[in-house]
């Protein structure tokens, strides 16, 4: 039977006569207490993830690898497993932790079973980079947790800006918007369920972090910069497109402004569903939500993008879409084409049937998100249902996955392919 919590008028337990009551009021901490806590946290984190190698340790490692390889004539910069163990004995203690049998076995070997000292040294540098990054990211979080929030990642990127030579012309007044631009890509791909946090392990092993860290290199070519989401040119193109779309200059994108986005190729039902499902201010998109929109339409073949598209189609929130939802988007496409004076002869019923034939859902009259992802042509289908350019190209049977989307390419670059992501061939 439920026992209510005793009130103050009831008889007290005998222990209360000699046990001091718990302090329930939160007392403000002094600056010294906060400093001591932060320093203790830093020591705990650095001990947990080992201490990073010093520059002298890394230098000694390379010298010893080179010395050992040079002992064997015609080694071509390669060492055997016995050489590998010998190097481990001659390097400082912390460096020796990088020498494990599994690492040697995992590296590519020649016909004599030797590994390249350059490959092994690069592995050590990458591991050291990930270790330092993990420590820095963990320290960004006030509690030293295994994940970072958006504000944590924003602070981390802001701290890295002076180390990016290609961003030296980024004005200080732009920092807030650049960090939002950069952070959004991480959260779009690594937090698709909008939990508001990313696990640090997922972040440091993500190719998106490698793309960001390319900004530290001095010798990037113009083509490399044009393919990098984090470059200054791409950030400004995305931002300026946002500003140019904001006709009334209120800092937000309204329904009418989004209708005229690009060449006005998106249907009204698509724009309306975006305003229904995205975070908005009085049914208007702010810069952060606009970035989600850009990433969604650019990375159509990724699971993260298709998940967002599916949410827009599933306006009844049943976890699947039927002929009714498909017909609603197809008929809106018919109206949109008429509005922009494109005359096409087609039967909407045929288009609906073709979409179901392309998806091949497990349940014939229902398309689930898993069906859309598994069919292998989700990017084509969501384009047909929302974008008149894509629909026209497909209807004319001129749709080509190698063809560039001119509207989107005017806004952001062809991004690098990401391992683990379903890559859109348009890229």
> How many whole angstroms separate alpha carbon 335 and alpha carbon 333?
5
Tell me the H-state helices in 340-368. Answer: 348-359
| The two structure tokens encoding residue 112 | 């004599």
Tell me the H-state helices in 191-282. Answer: 200-204, 207-213, 222-226, 232-245, 255-259, 268-277
Residue pair 128/53 in contact (Cβ under 8 Å)? The answer is yes
> How many whole angstroms separate alpha carbon 159 and alpha carbon 66?
35
Residue pair 166/231 in contact (Cβ under 8 Å)? The answer is yes
pLDDT in tens, 281-298: 889 999 999 999 999 998
Given this model, what pLDDT does residue 421 score? 36
Given this model, what pLDDT does residue 277 score? 93
Given this model, what pLDDT does residue 423 score? 35
- Rounded to the nearest 10 degrees, the angle between the axes of helix 175-190 and helix 232-245 is 100
Task: Break the chain down into helix, strand, coil percent, rounded to 5.
Answer: 60, 5, 40
Long-range contacts of 417-420 (CB under 8 A, 24+ apart): 418/189, 418/207, 418/208, 419/207, 420/207
> How many whole angstroms separate alpha carbon 55 and alpha carbon 60?
9
Given this model, what pLDDT does residue 377 score? 94
Given this model, what pLDDT does residue 99 score? 87
Given this model, what pLDDT does residue 2 score? 35
Residue for token pair 């398309």: 367
Given this model, what pLDDT does residue 50 score? 54
> How many whole angstroms separate alpha carbon 155 and alpha carbon 161?
10
β-partners of residue 285 are 253, 280
Tell me the H-state helices in 113-193. Answer: 117-140, 150-160, 175-190
Given this model, what pLDDT does residue 417 score? 36
Given this model, what pLDDT does residue 5 score? 33
Output the CA torsion 30→35→37→40 (10° steps).
-160
pLDDT in tens, 176-225: 999 999 999 999 999 988 889 998 888 888 899 989 988 988 888 989 99
| The two structure tokens encoding residue 276 | 């229904």
| CB count in 10 Å sphere of residue 73 | 5
| The two structure tokens encoding residue 58 | 């890394």
Given this model, what pLDDT does residue 426 score? 33
- Report the predicted TM-score, pTM, of the whole model to 2 decimal places: 0.71
Per-residue b/e over 116-138, b at no fewer than 16 CB within 10 Å? bbeebbeebeeebbebebbbebb
Picking from 321, 311, 319, 332, the residue whose alpha carbon sits closest to that of residue 385 is: 332
List the chain residues with pLDDT less than 70: 1-52, 134-145, 397-427
């Amino acid at each position: 039977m439920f026992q209510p919590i005793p009130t103050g008028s009831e008889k007290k337990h005998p222990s209360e006569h000699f046990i001091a009551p718990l302090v329930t009021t939160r007392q403000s901490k002094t600056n010294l207490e906060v400093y001591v806590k932060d320093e203790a946290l830093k020591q705990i984190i650095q001990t947990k993830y080992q201490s990073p190698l010093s520059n002298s340790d890394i230098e000694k490692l390379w010298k010893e690898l080179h010395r050992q390889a040079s002992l064997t004539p015609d080694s071509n910069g390669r060492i055997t497993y016995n050489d590998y163990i010998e190097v481990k004995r001659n390097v400082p203690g912390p460096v020796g932790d990088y020498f494990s049998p599994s690492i040697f076995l995992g590296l590519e070997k020649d016909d004599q079973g030797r590994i390249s000292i350059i490959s092994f040294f690069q592995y050590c540098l990458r591991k050291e980079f990930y270790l330092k990054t993990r420590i820095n990211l963990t320290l960004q979080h006030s509690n030293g947790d295994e994940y970072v929030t958006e504000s944590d990642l924003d602070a981390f990127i802001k701290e890295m800006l002076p180390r990016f030579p290609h961003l030296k012309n980024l004005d200080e007044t732009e920092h807030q918007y650049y960090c939002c631009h950069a952070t959004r890509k991480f959260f779009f791909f690594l937090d698709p369920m909008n939990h508001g946090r990313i696990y640090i392990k997922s972040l440091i092993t993500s190719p998106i972090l490698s793309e960001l860290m390319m900004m530290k290199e001095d010798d990037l070519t113009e083509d490399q910069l044009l393919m990098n989401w984090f470059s200054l040119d791409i950030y400004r193109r995305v931002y300026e497109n946002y500003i140019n779309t904001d006709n009334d200059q209120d800092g937000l994108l309204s329904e009418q402004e989004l209708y005229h986005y690009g060449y006005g190729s998106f249907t009204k039902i698509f724009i309306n569903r975006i305003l229904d499902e995205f975070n908005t201010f009085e049914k208007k998109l702010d810069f952060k939500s606009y970035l989600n929109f850009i990433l969604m339409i650019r990375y159509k073949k990724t699971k993260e993008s298709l998940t967002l598209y599916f949410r827009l189609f599933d306006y009844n929130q049943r976890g699947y879409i039927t002929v009714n939802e498909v017909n609603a988007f197809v008929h809106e496409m018919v109206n949109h084409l008429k509005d922009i004076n494109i005359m096409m002869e087609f039967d909407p019923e045929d288009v609906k049937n073709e979409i179901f034939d392309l998806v091949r859902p497990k349940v014939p009259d229902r398309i689930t998100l898993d069906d859309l992802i598994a069919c292998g042509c989700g990017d084509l289908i969501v384009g047909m249902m929302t974008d008149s350019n894509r629909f026209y190209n497909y209807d004319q049977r001129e749709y080509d996955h190698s063809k560039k989307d001119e509207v989107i390419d005017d806004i952001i670059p062809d991004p690098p392919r990401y391992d683990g992501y379903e890559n859109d061939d348009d890229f």
